């Protein structure tokens, strides 16, 4: 479930390819149905071969490799996608291999067990249309308190659901939304339009703290083991989870409340009814 911290870890992990030239672009044969490529892989290959990597960025939960042609390779991990550097293809589920001249790093691999991930090559106009400000809000680590409040302040949606809306702000997913609201001591069902300035300050501060710490620890590796850094080492933030998948267990904050799981917008939310008020 790569969210901002996991995707940022991937981005940093492949940043060493900047300035390097693409030697090959391949889709290893596999038993699984192929993931989605847009346009088809042969077209992507033709357009990236021999191109120099100008920058490696991140757009919300997507990794963006920008070439000197101004085309951008957008890698969208969705549920179980992840990037690896100089790891063996026999790990299985390798959906794409990008090889660089010189090195190391020699090659970037996209591994995706469930295969819901998407790889796209977009020119600047397409990038603007698909991932511009109309489709993707400000990055969760960069948005200001005022912008957060003004973008959500009139919404009647529950705060937990609103934080997941990538058009509002980019990067927060299901896991970190629960952790952020627990740190903010705010009930996940609290209605945005009823929140006061102090709530927005708390949500904003908690969001920055949780996400920055998770980036520092290279993200969360869950029991399914589908995420780790580009060297295939697990992240460390899972040991800092306060509520996520801890339903029925005592709250680590107050020690007295019991973590509850509820479903909002068809997704699990975890919170402490004793610590988190406002609904």
Partner DNA sequence: CCCCAGTCCTGCGGGC
Partner DNA sequence: TGCCCGCAGGACTGGG
| Positions marked catalytic | 2-3, 61, 267
The residue within the footprint of DNA, chosen from 21, 232, 253, 268 (CB under 7 A), is 268
Binding segment toward DNA, per CB under 7 A, in 42-50, 138-146, 158-166, 206-214: 158-166
Outline where the chain has alpha helix (H): 4-14, 41-48, 124-131, 145-152, 159-163, 174-183, 197-216
The answer to whether residue 114 forms part of the interface with DNA (CB under 7 A) is: yes
Spatial distance between the Cα atoms of 71 and 194, rounded to a whole number of angstroms: 43
Pattern 166-185, DNA, x by CB under 7 A: x------xxx----------
Q: Is the dihedral of CA 133, 161, 224, 241 positive or negative?
A: positive
Binding segment toward DNA, per CB under 7 A, in 43-51, 121-129, 148-156, 207-215: 148-156
- Applying the rule CB under 7 A, the residues between 205 and 234 that interact with DNA are 223-225
**Beta carbon nearer to DNA, 60 or 228:** 60
Coil, strand or helix: which one is 199? helix
The residue within the footprint of DNA, chosen from 18, 19, 32, 256 (CB under 7 A), is 32
**Beta carbon nearer to DNA, 51 or 61:** 61
The residue within the footprint of DNA, chosen from 15, 267, 273, 278 (CB under 7 A), is 267
The answer to whether residue 158 forms part of the interface with DNA (CB under 7 A) is: yes
**Beta carbon nearer to DNA, 202 or 243:** 243
The answer to whether residue 155 forms part of the interface with DNA (CB under 7 A) is: yes
Binding segment toward DNA, per CB under 7 A, in 103-111, 112-120, 141-149, 271-279: 112-120
CB of 173 closer than 8 Å to CB of 61: yes
Contacts 24+ apart (CB under 8 A), 139-143: 139/4, 139/58, 139/60, 139/169, 139/170, 139/171, 140/4, 140/169, 140/170, 140/171, 140/172, 140/207, 140/211, 141/4, 141/171, 141/208, 141/211, 141/212, 141/215, 143/169, 143/204
* Ramachandran angles phi, psi of 19, nearest 5°: 90, -10
Residues forming contacts to DNA in the complex (CB under 7 A) are 1, 3, 32-33, 60-62, 76, 78-79, 113-116, 130, 135, 154-158, 161, 164, 166, 173-175, 223-225, 265-268
């Amino acid at each position: 479930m790569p969210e901002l911290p996991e995707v940022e870890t991937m981005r940093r992990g492949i940043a060493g390819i900047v300035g390097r030239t693409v030697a090959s672009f391949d889709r290893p044969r596999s038993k699984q149905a192929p993931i989605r490529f847009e346009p088809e892989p042969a077209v992507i290959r033709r357009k990236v071969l021999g191109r120099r990597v100008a920058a490696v960025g991140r757009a919300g939960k997507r990794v963006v490799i920008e070439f000197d042609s101004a085309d951008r390779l957008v890698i969208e991990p969705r549920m179980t996608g992840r990037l690896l550097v100089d790891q063996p293809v026999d790990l299985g589920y390798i959906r794409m291999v990008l090889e660089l001249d010189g090195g190391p790093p020699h090659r970037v691999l996209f591994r995706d067990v469930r295969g819901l991930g998407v790889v796209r090559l977009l020119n600047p106009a397409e990038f603007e249309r698909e991932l511009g400000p109309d489709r993707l809000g400000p990055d969760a680590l960069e948005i200001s308190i005022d912008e957060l409040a003004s973008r959500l302040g009139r919404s009647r949606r529950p705060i937990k659901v609103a934080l997941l809306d990538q058009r509002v702000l980019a990067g927060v997913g299901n896991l970190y939304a629960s952790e952020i609201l627990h740190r903010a001591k705010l009930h996940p069902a609290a209605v945005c339009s009823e929140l006061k300035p102090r709530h927005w300050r708390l949500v904003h501060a908690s969001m920055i703290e949780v996400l920055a710490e998770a980036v520092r620890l290279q993200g969360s590796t869950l029991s399914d083991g589908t995420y780790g850094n580009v060297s295939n080492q697990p992240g460390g933030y899972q040991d800092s989870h306060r509520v996520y998948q801890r339903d029925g267990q005592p709250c680590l904050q107050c020690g007295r409340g019991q973590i509850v799981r509820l479903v909002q917008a068809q997704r699990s939310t975890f919170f402490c009814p004793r610590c988190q008020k406002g609904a």
